[in-house]
Amino acid sequence: MYIALIELRYAIYFVDDGIRVLEAGCGLGIMTLMLAEKFTQSTFIGCDLSPDVVRTANQKVNKKGLQNITFEAGDVSQLLKI
């Protein structure tokens, strides 16, 4: 099951353990990181156009030691290329 979240402030009502979540335009991924920490059995992917922002977000993932989240640089309208 995939859930594409536009308004992450409502995500807590839709996310449950064991699902896959894509955040388009994730920026630094602050909300996605918080969700990944809470829902450890779910998988999270954040996508943003800025490689620099994605690099910073992935550094946060590594620092926290999370295994269920990754950030990718790219255009979500071109998902097959990411």
Query: What tens digit of pLDDT does each residue of 2-60 get?
Result: 444 445 566 666 667 888 888 889 999 988 898 899 889 999 999 999 999 999 999 99
Among 25, 35, 24, which residue's Cα sits nearest to residue 64? 35
- Residue 5 is assigned to a structural domain of this protein: no
11 inside domain: no
Q: Domain range for residue 57?
A: 19-81
Q: Structural domain tally of the chain?
A: 1
Which burial class, exposed, middle or buried, applies to 66 when counting CB atoms under 10 A from its CB (0-12, 13-18, 19+)?
middle
Sheet holding 20-24, edge to edge: 2-5, 20-24, 43-48, 69-73
Note whether residue 77 is domain-resident.
yes
**Is the residue at 4 inside a domain?**
no
30 domain residue, yes or no: yes
What's the pTM value of the predicted model, to 2 decimals? 0.79
Domain CATH number, residue 27: 3.40.50.150
Residue 73 sits at the vertex; the CA angle it makes with 69 and 77, to the nearest 5 degrees, is 105
